[in-house]
Amino acid sequence: MPDFRNIRAWQKADDLAVIIYQLTKSFPKSEMYGLTSQIRRAAVSVAANIAEGSARASERDYLHFLFIAKSSLVEAEYYLHLSHRLGYLDDGTYERVTQIQRETGKVLQGLIRHIQDRLKS
């Protein structure tokens, strides 16, 4: 398996995690152990599961971790939506970060398809 740092999906997920950490610095202090913690955890989980999966001995195990990463990405998507609805993210910021989230999802889905195709052959 490749070094996780060279995986495009990991690079996108890592960028998303950094952006989410930066954005949540301005969230209300009352959300420190609530929404702030949850959205950060979900974002970090995407990149972490891609990295962890890449170190697994089999591609089936790798695929399992990629699906966990995909689930965490959808979880982060919901937390971004909620943050916007609560007024913690303005419209422009919300649009920019969800665009990055969608791009991450597309690249991750492409990686999942690639591994699935390799498992079929």
With cut-offs at 50, 70 and 90, classify the pLDDT of residue 2: confident
pLDDT at 106: 98
Tokens of 116: 């699935």
**12 lies in which domain range?**
4-120
pLDDT tier, 121 (very low <50, low <70, confident <90, very high otherwise): confident
The CATH number given to whatever domain includes residue 60 is 1.20.1440.60
Q: Domain tally for the chain?
A: 1
- Taking only the tens place, the pLDDT of each residue in 50-97 is 999 999 989 999 999 999 999 999 999 999 999 999 999 999 999 999
Q: What is the mean pLDDT of the chain?
A: 96
